[in-house]
Structure 1
Amino acid sequence: MLTLFGARFAAASSARGRHFLFHLAPMTAIALALSGCMPATVPLPGADPADPAARVARVGYRSTIAPYESLRPATPAPWRERNDSAAPSPKTDR
């Protein structure tokens, strides 16, 4: 985006002549100088946020993992019986 702006600026300045750049530079400097004088934030109507005695709403807590339930069994099943039940039955004809 910045490159496109620079290319357009270069094309416009070369088309209008060199004097365009000399008018733009002082205006840019004035705008930057005046922007430094502006307040960083606009004060909001109501209570001052910097006032430690200002009343604020209570903060509520909601757990992000509240509906979580562990699906692991309490004790692991014996692995030998589980392996034997899942294994294919051996062929006796060989």
Structure 2
Amino acid sequence: MKKAFVIAMAAGLASLSACNSSPREQTADNIESNTEAVADNLEDAADNVSNDASEASLENKADAVRATGQNQAEDMRTNDPDTNLSNGI
């Protein structure tokens, strides 16, 4: 019974901590989710082509989309003024 209670408490605390994330963190999470979905679609398309060169190209694009999304999300989280124009310029 104690184990179930501890697990329930941990799950509850984890869900509460997710609710308190800032709008900036939520935006960064959305960026990552969206770019991950685009990259997954590109990889699915790569699996459906018969040309090896096209498959490699689509997989490279998927990798680039993932990297760009991760960089943009990290810039959003760290408030890097050079990348997200928080300085208004």
- Taking structure 2 as the reference length, the TM-score comes to 0.28
The structure, 1 or 2, with the larger RCO (C-alpha pairs under 8 Å, 6+ apart) is: 2
Higher-helix-fraction structure: 2
Rg larger for = 1
- Taking structure 1 as the reference length, the TM-score comes to 0.27
